[in-house]
Amino acid sequence: MTFFLDLPFRWNNIAHISLNSSANVINSSGLSPSNVLKLLRQCPRLVSLAFPGNNNLDWDHDTFVSKTISLPFLKSFIIFEPRVLDLQTIGQLLQRLVTPELRQLHIPSVSSSSLENHSLLFAIGNLPLLDNLLVHLRSLAEPTILETLRSLPLLTKLTVSNSNNWHWTLIFDDEDSGSCDLERLLVLLTPGESESTVCPRLQELEMNDCHSVSKETIGAFIRRRIGLDSGFQRLEMTWGVPQDGELVSPEEIQEIHSHGVQVALIFPSQGRVRERSGANAWTGLPVMKSQTRWGGWD
């Protein structure tokens, strides 16, 4: 995939780059961390970058001691499949970048130890304009998760995955007790009566592959977000295991919807979706379109 780095493009004029790999073998595709930095050095006007990262490739570890790269126009930084950049490397990579306008950050990677997440959480905490964040649950380690969330006052959309598919399990240990869980995360995001609200502008929360979030916690989050009157609009929870009983009744969902809030509880293994959508259902916050060719939007 790295051949394009030597092509005679006018790199300093490119604004949008989206890279994908058709390779099925995750160990041989994607960009190494040093090649990501090489690319970014050539594109000072870059606005959005989406790429598959891979630190299983040979790469120059000394690159990370080089000077920082200024990207004054970068608004979107997305890492996608193959997800084999560990969190420590991603954190170190982000700390080498000066991105004062970054709004969208997608980092669906995991690490074998929550202790390795410090550099990533520090990097996220230094992105005050961030309004769209996608992370894996293992990225959010106690006790720094609260501090990180408090540093994101403009966050409007948060997507958290708790996926445990095959290549995630190769990277982390399920017994890692240092990471957060979805119940704890939802509690932290629930407005309190005395403390200041975490992520006060949150409008959309998606939680994937839920396992054990209580009905009481879900109800408290929804009620207090509605009471906050801050424009919260959607909660979507996809469950990875079967659930006994109803977490939110149809009557409760209808009442919630009357306040302009949509709730979707999805149970793929049981073939059920519990949701309420009006005729003018809200379809989500606007997101940047992926760039599939050089120069300009599709």
- Which tens digit of pLDDT belongs to each residue from 49-58? 998 887 665 5
Predicted local distance difference test score (pLDDT) of residue 217: 94
First to last CA, the chain: 22
Q: What is the pLDDT of residue 82?
A: 53
d(CA 50, CA 29): 14
In this structure, are residues 82 and 30 in contact, taking their beta carbons and an 8 Å threshold? Answer: yes
Domain covering 68-275 in this structure, CATH number = 3.80.10.10
Note the pTM of the prediction, 2 decimals. Answer: 0.82
Tell me which residues of the chain have a pLDDT lower than 70: 1-3, 21-29, 55-66, 81-84, 109-117, 142, 163-180, 194, 269-298
The single-letter code of the amino acid at 258 is: S
The rounded mean pLDDT for the chain is 77
Amino acid identity, position 11: W
Per-residue pLDDT tens over the stretch 129-170: 999 999 887 777 767 788 889 999 999 999 998 765 434 333
Sign for the pseudo-dihedral over CA of 200, 206, 209, 211: positive
Give dist(CA 263, CA 51) in Å, integer.
31
Confidence (pLDDT) at 280:
40
